Amino acid sequence: MFAYHVRLALLSLKKNPALTALIIGAFALGIGVCMTTLTVYYQMSNNPIVHKNDVLYAVALDSWDPVEPYDDDQPEQAPWELTWRDMMALRQSDIPTHHAAMFKGSFVVEPESDDVLPFEETVRMTDGGFFSLFDIPFQYGAPWDTTADENGEYVVVLSREMNEKLFGGQNSVGRTLLLDKLSFTVTGVIDNWNPAPKYYDVNNGAFDNAEQMFMPLTVAFPLERFSDGNTNCWKDEDINDYQAFLNSECVWFQYWAQLDAPEQKARYQDFLDAYVMEQKQLGRFERPLNNRLTPVDEWLQVRQVVADDSKVLLGVSFMFLAVCLFNTVGLLLAKFIGKSGEIGLRRALGASRTAVFGQQLVEVGVIGVAGGLLGLGLAVLGLRAVRKIYIGLDQLVDLTSIDVSMVLAALGISIAASVLAGLYPAWRVCRVSPASYLKTQ
Amino acid sequence: MLNMTHVSRVYRTDTVETHALRDFSLYVDEGEFVAVTGPSGSGKTTFLNIAGLLEDLTSGTYELDGRDVSGLSDNERSKIRNEKIGFIFQTFNLIPDLNVFDNVDVPLRYRNMSASERRKRITEALEIVGLTSRMTHLPAQLSGGQQQRVAIARALAGSPRFLLADEPTGNLDSEMASQVLDLLEDVNRTGTTIIMVTHEAGLATRARRNIHVLDGRIQPEEPEAQADGPPPLTAVQLAGA
């Protein structure tokens, strides 16, 4: 019967092409707008390392001002970052499977080739554990070893793109390049890796591209490097030199740890608590004990990676879809009432109200599929327009890409919306009294 | 087979009450060919709609095959219409977008019948009306007489217990009308009960029994009609009378 109803639906849609086009167009417009915002929202809400969500934790210690919390809107949260002293202390722990401290720095790159002019490049200053922690694939070579971390060796890992730019995409492991006139040796080239959102450091733009250069964190301190990202301080301290800055209560290091088992996590939590209790004895950490290990998905929520205006936009787009549906109800009603004669005849020949109702719902379902497919086309155009507006932000390619789940979602929403819009017209028309239309057929 | 007793049908608006049928009692036996005549507005179509379970009656009782069908649910009425009643309309009421085969298929689609069974019945019905060669034609490609024959095939495909024909020749010229009536007579001879509404007394004489309706009531037989009409024109059988 379903196939029969689909066939009747196609015949019916062909019968009034203008009205059909209007109805499908209204659906498509609503779906197109909805899917554009929904795709961006969905991709923004994405957890790029979901397979490690239960073992990967952002580490936070509440070393903040005893008078007021770090974030007034979320007073239960600790500062998002760590002080240098705390970061250095946490690096000594051997409890996590992998762990890494990090901040965003920058260096001037002087390429070997005369064809490429010197340029300033953002660099992720981190520990060698960074690459295992976040499952970063390597095209050539490997991360630097722990000795490099301990000694602050001048080694660097490049992105595939940066390797292409500096070394023409060849295996550059062992090659050197000048960064701020210092010679760094390439230990590895990572393969394509650009998580969206950039969960490991959502400061200064959660949807910025991942850095294209990585070097040991310990390189930074002898060179007296400051963060190019966020540095937040609460205490009135005399900071006269770099060492005083390092020893200050300013927070500027992101810290992540991989804790594979619950007991490992519990041990690490105990370690953090013991460390903070010890620091309290020294007059630090005056706030209540609040050491937090936050998994990635929760971290993305706490850090409000998906901005409120994105949610509002999503709501507005669904309201737009509702308006389209509301208009479609009228069009469907007109279409179905126009078929009253045929429906009266079918009723006379034995079709039950349920059968007639089902026939109309299948027809709106077919409209929904057509509207959904056309809407997807409009969404693709809409997403291209978004990319044009934010040109240069590579991550937008991911944020504005429609995957299979979004195609299915579009069709699902479209069919559900069309059936919803068709319920009243179908109900109205299935109550047609057969006798009243037979003479006028 | 069909037994209406003291049936009335009243249409009400805020200000007006129209009695389409009044104290209408009729018994039609299996295999009869009954013509219902009367002027426009006399209640013929209302009677046919009630007989075909297309409309509710206001009071009285209506039994079909010994079953009281006056209080049935909409679904039950649909099922009876589908399985027991065949309809033939003045305006043919074919679905213009469907070809002949699919038009005849319409009532069978609501019977949970296999595709092969449906095909067999459609082919047989179209053979009876002589239109097997036009299966793929759309109604607009057929003459009026052919369209009415398709409508008859549609009514016959479901093997109904009785056919209700509402002015079946009203839109046809005399030659085609005669052919259609020949066909109905053939169908009747196979045992199918036929009730035909018409306002043409000439056509009514082709039926085996003639009922005249006026002002929603069955009228006594008119002597001249008896004189003009060929036998076996029988007296009105009033149920319970």
- Give me the residues of B, 7-66, that contact A with CB < 8 A: 45, 49, 52, 54-55
Residues of B whose CB is below 8 A from A350: 78-79, 81-83, 107, 110-111, 158
Mind telling me how many Å the CA of B71 is from chain A's nearest CA?
A: 16
- ipTM, two decimals, is 0.87
pLDDT of the residue at B110 = 92
* The one-letter amino acid at A215: M
Q: Do A352 and B79 touch (CB under 8 A)?
A: yes
Residues A293-302: tens digit of each pLDDT: 999 999 999 9
Which residue type does B6 have?
H
Mean pLDDT of chain B: 86
- Evaluate if residue B231 carries a pLDDT over 50: no
Using CB atoms within 10 Å of the CB of residue A318, give its burial: 0 to 12 exposed, 13 to 18 middle, 19+ buried.
Answer: middle
The CA–CA distances, whole Å, from A189 to A127, A141, A211 equal: 16, 6, 12
Chain A interface includes B101 (CB < 8 A): no
Question: Given an 8 Å threshold on Cβ–Cβ distance, is A345 in contact with B83?
Answer: no
Q: How many CB pairs under 8 A join A and B?
A: 66
How far apart are the C-alpha atoms of A254 and A85, rounded to whole Å? 13
B99 to chain A: nearest residue by CA?
Answer: A11
pLDDT, tens digit (0-9, with 9 covering 90-100), for A10-58: 998 898 899 999 999 998 999 999 888 888 888 778 888 999 999 999 9
Q: Out of A11, A434, A438, name the one closest to residue B97 (CB).
A: A11
Q: Interior CA angle at A89 toward A87 and A91, to 5°?
A: 70
Q: For B30-71, write each residue's pLDDT tens digit.
A: 999 999 998 888 898 899 999 999 999 999 999 998 899 988
3 state SS for chain A: CHHHHHHHHHHHHHHCHHHHHHHHHHHHHHHHHHHHHHHHHHHHCCCCCHHHCCCEEEEECCCCCCCCCCCCCCCCCCCCCECHHHHHHHCCCCCCCEEEEEEEEEEEEECCCCCCCCEEEEEEEECCHHHHHCCCCEEEECCCCHHHHHHCCCEEEEEHHHHHHHHCCCCCCCCEEEECCEEEEEEEEECCCCCCCCCCCCCCCCCCCCCCEEEEHHHCCCCCCCCCCCCECCCCCCCCCHHHHHHCCCECEEEEEECCCHHHHHHHHHHHHHHHHHHHHCCCCCCCCCCEEEEHHHHHHHCCCCCHHHHHHHHHHHHHHHHHHHHHHHHHHHHHHCCHHHHHHHHHCCCCHHHHHHHHHHHHHHHHHHHHHHHHHHHHHHHHHHHHHCCCCCHHHHHCCCCHHHHHHHHHHHHHHHHHHHHHHHHHHHCCCHHHHHCCC
Determine the pLDDT at residue A137: 96
* Residue whose pair of structure tokens reads 């520990």 in the numeric block: A127
B148 token code pair: 């009415």
Angle CA A410–A413–A415, to nearest 5: 105
* Separation between Cα atoms, residue B51 and residue B62, nearest integer Å: 8
DSSP B217: E
Q: Does B239 touch chain A (CB under 8 A)?
A: no
- Cα–Cα distance between B129 and B124 in angstroms, integer? 9
B176 with B157: CB under 8 angstroms? Answer: no
- Give the minimum alpha-carbon distance from B163 to chain A in angstroms, rounded to a whole number: 12
- Cβ-Cβ contacts under 8 Å, B74 against chain A: 352-353
Place of tokens 């037989």: B221
- What pLDDT, on the 0 to 100 scale, is given for residue B233? 36
The sign one gets for the Cα dihedral B147, B148, B149, B153 is positive
pLDDT at residue B193 greater than cutoff 60: yes
Tell whether pTM > 0.90: no
Tens of pLDDT, residue by residue over B85-138, are: 999 988 889 999 999 999 999 999 999 889 999 999 999 999 988 899 999 999
Cβ(B93)–Cβ(B168) below 8 Å: no
Task: Name the residue facing A441 among B75, B93, B154 (closest C-beta).
Answer: B93
Q: How far is CA A290 from CA A61, A62, A64, A206, A207, in A?
A: 6, 5, 10, 25, 28
pLDDT, residue B240, reads: 34
Residues of chain A neighbouring B45 (CB-CB closer than 8 A): 439
Report d(CA A158, CA A166) in Å as an integer. Answer: 9
Chain B hits for A11, CB-CB cut-off 8 Å, are: 97-98
Determine which of B56, B80, B93, B138 to mutate to test the interface with A (most A C-beta atoms within 10 Å). Answer: B93
Q: Which residue of A has its CA nearest to B76?
A: A352
Residue-level pLDDT at A171: 96
Chain B hits for A354, Cβ within 8 Å: 75
* Angle, vertex CA A224, rays to CA A222 and CA A225, nearest 5: 120
Contact criterion met (CB < 8 Å) for B55 and A439:
no
Residue in B89, B98, B154 closest to A438 by CB: B89
Provide the pLDDT for residue A390: 64
Measuring CA to CA, which residue among A330, A333, A338, A331 is closest to residue A437? A338
Show residues of chain B in contact with A341, CB under 8 Å: 93
Distance from CA of B214 to the nearest CA of A (A): 20
Q: Residue B222 — very low, low, confident or very high, per pLDDT cuts 50/70/90?
A: low
Q: With a cut of 70, list the residues of chain A below it in pLDDT.
A: 390-400, 437, 439-441
Test the B interface: residue of A7, A342, A343, A349 with most B CBs within 10 Å: A349
Q: Which residues of A touch B55 (CB under 8 A)?
A: 433, 435
